[in-house]
Chains A and B, each alone.
Chain A
Amino acid sequence: GNSVTQMEGPVTLSEEAFLTINCTYTATGYPSLFWYVQYPGEGLQLLLKATKADDKGSNKGFEATYRKETTSFHLEKGSVQVSDSAVYFCALSGSAGGTSYGKLTFGQGTILTVHP
């Protein structure tokens, strides 16, 4: 079945530091890949997505590139802010026509804390 593995957290950074959160996946076919962010006490918000190999998703300074050869979708940001402190989830959705199409499989989440 499908699976998503994220780097272990928590991650603690100083403001303006560079952020990388690793994400690798296992899936058949051509899944779509997502990064979601969850702020304390809230639901999930879509941060960015990529639907095919070599696509780069970007939003709010965050980027991730769909690498099929390494089955990865690492999240990066060049300069983090205190307001970026949250839990980040990598997720995938199975390819169209498959049994897992439309269902999201999540990684375990990575807690990010950014200090001033």
Chain B
Amino acid sequence: GAVVSQHPSRVICKSGTSVKIECRSLDFQATTMFWYRQFPKQSLMLMATSNEGSKATYEQGVEKDKFLINHASLTLSTLTVTSAHPEDSSFYICSANDAGAGYGYTFGSGTRLTVV
């Protein structure tokens, strides 16, 4: 089945630094990937839609200059949290749709970001 690999699974960084999270579709091409954020004991909120070869589309309230998204190829999207602050600590998850699998979204395993 469709597999989405997300890396790293856990990262701890200092305030003010930047962190890059990768999301790869391993056995299919994804022109669109999605980035979600999950706060502890809460649901997932869509942050942005990553579009291959063009700018990402951000949801209302999400700072595009803080959460940089790059979708340079059909199998890779990256989310960079710039100038991280403790309030950015969260669980970030990407997803992609393998159209050949019949309209099912495959999620990465998530990245636990802790900013200290």
Contacts and interface: CB of A to CB of B under 8 A. Distances in A.
Nearest to B106: A46
Main secondary structure of the interface of A (DSSP, over half): strand
A19 to B, nearest CB: 20
Interface string A37-51: 000001111100101
Interface stretch (B13-21, B43-51, B64-72): B43-51
User: Which of A43, A104, A106, A109 counts the most chain B CB atoms within 10 A?
Assistant: A43
Contacts of B107: 36, 43-46
B104 A46 contact: yes
Interface of A: 32, 34, 36, 42-46, 49, 51, 89, 93, 102-109
Interface of B: 6, 32, 34, 36, 42-46, 49, 93, 95, 97, 103-110
